[in-house]
Amino acid sequence: LREEAHWQQFEDSVIIGLSDNVGENLAFRNSDITGYRFAKGPIDLRNTWFGGFNSTSERTATAIGNDVCMNHCHPRNSLFDIMFDFDDGPGKRFLFWNCTTRSADKDSIFALRDMRQAVSAGDVTIVTNKPFLLTDNCKVRSSWNAAYCPYTYGEVFVSYTDRLTIDMSVYRTDGVYPNLPSIKMDEEKHFLSILGGSHSYLVRIHGSVPSVTNFDAEAISKSQFVLVAFCVPRNAEIIFEYRMENLLKREVRAVTSRQAVVDDQKLGTYFYDSTNGVVFFKLTHDVDYKSGEQNHCPNNVCPRARVRVMSGDLTDSNCVNRFTAVEEYMQTSSGTPGSDISVLPATYTNPPENVGHGPNYPF
């Protein structure tokens, strides 16, 4: 089976960082501790109790963290009903571990949904502390090296010939150019997007525009969609295709404005602004997730948009200045996040009876 065919669930467990009842190997006294590390996923961590995760002068301890230098984590990784025997501040419920051996933008491919206030004080998504992912509705928790936001995020994968050697930039279209939230990717080309239509994204490929560019999305549904704009040559012949994961083509429909793409609820609607050299389309689905559904996309079917450039000057690839000069294409700046330095108190001194071995855990 393919790796992406598996949904993993870890539940009803007791995880202990330090225990006075267990001997300690002095060789590891300075080793940092993470109780549970999220890898690619998608993974649900449920009904689990963490104890003994207070940091010391010799090492950092955190209950939940990330697998360091993991290429990306699935945006539907989730937390449900998590319990702690320590206060966050001085302890750490969560810590994002930076990777020091690759581009910093790669660390932006991390999102962890906090369901039912499992870790924070609300139903939010924990993301890396990068402007591209944040707005003034978010809060930065510096002790976590992360932020949390009241949004659902999806992941967009962009593929084209020579994508590993030709750079790509993505701009969030709220604010004033050149100070837009943006990322530049020099290796793998995928990014997290805020879903639901509140934010839009402009994709520019450096160098010549590829003759064929694919946009695949995960964690996308009918109500949780993303609007994408893509720089293409001006006055070119463009073919737009929309498929689901079964690769069956859906009927597409050209409209005459960006707003018409936003308003249309059908799959396959697009707008080509030939004057400014940009194609608008929505990555969306024809259904929403069912309650409790554990799939990459609803019904385990994800969307793909494809842009074919049949004619035109492929070196005419940078539409950013023209795009940002069109008032209706831009949105008001979403501002900057505040900080959260509050203490999150311990929730359970001992594990409940139905978690692991209960309060009499065997240590």
Residue 26's pLDDT is 56
Q: Identify the bridge partners of residue 8 per DSSP, sorted by sequence position.
A: 43
Residue 47 to residue 11: CA distance in whole angstroms:
5
Secondary structure class of 261 (helix, strand, coil) = helix
* Selection from 190, 182, 271 nearest residue 227 by Cα: 271
In this structure, the chain runs to a length of 363
Q: In this structure, how many other beta carbons lie within 10 angstroms of the beta carbon of residue 320? A: 18
Residue 182's pLDDT is 95
Residue 115's pLDDT is 85
Cβ pair 109, 72 in contact under 8 A: yes
Q: In this structure, how many other beta carbons lie within 10 angstroms of the beta carbon of residue 152? A: 21
* Selection from 212, 238, 234 nearest residue 317 by Cα: 234
Residues 6+ apart with CB under 8 A from 94: 62, 63, 64, 65, 112, 119, 126, 144, 146
Residue with tokens 């001085």: 90
User: pLDDT tens track of the chain, all 363 residues?
Assistant: 234 546 789 999 999 987 655 555 555 566 788 999 998 888 999 999 999 898 888 788 999 999 888 777 889 999 999 999 999 987 899 999 998 877 666 677 899 999 877 787 778 999 999 999 999 999 999 999 999 999 999 999 999 998 888 999 999 999 999 999 999 988 779 999 999 999 999 999 999 999 999 999 999 999 999 999 999 999 999 999 999 866 678 899 999 999 999 999 899 999 999 999 999 999 999 999 999 888 889 998 999 999 999 999 999 999 999 999 999 999 999 999 999 999 999 999 999 988 887 887 655
Residue 19's pLDDT is 60
Residue 189 tokens read as 């080309």
CA-CA-CA-CA dihedral for 31, 65, 68, 153, to nearest 10: -170
Kindly report, residue by residue over 154-191, the tens digit of the pLDDT.
Answer: 999 999 998 888 999 999 999 999 999 999 988 779 99
Distances (CA, A) of 50 to 34, 141, 276, 351: 11, 20, 54, 8
Distances (CA, A) of 32 to 48, 54, 61, 67, 72: 21, 11, 6, 13, 22
**C-alpha angle 277-283-287 in degrees, rounded to nearest 5:** 155
Secondary structure class of 235 (helix, strand, coil) = coil
Phi/psi at 2 (5° precision): -70, 150
Whether residue 178 is preceded by a cis peptide bond, meaning omega within 30 degrees of 0, is yes
**C-alpha angle 50-65-83 in degrees, rounded to nearest 5:** 25
Half-sphere exposure of residue 45, counting CA atoms within 13 Å on the CB side? 26
Residue 330 tokens read as 């831009």
Residues 6+ apart with CB under 8 A from 216: 156, 157, 159, 302, 303, 304
**C-alpha angle 329-226-169 in degrees, rounded to nearest 5:** 65
Residue 92 to residue 307: CA distance in whole angstroms:
45
Residue 83 to residue 171: CA distance in whole angstroms:
38
Residue with tokens 């598996």: 6
Distances (CA, A) of 110 to 53, 96, 133, 147: 22, 9, 10, 11
Residue 103's pLDDT is 66
Whole-model pTM? Answer: 0.92
Amino acid at 151: Y
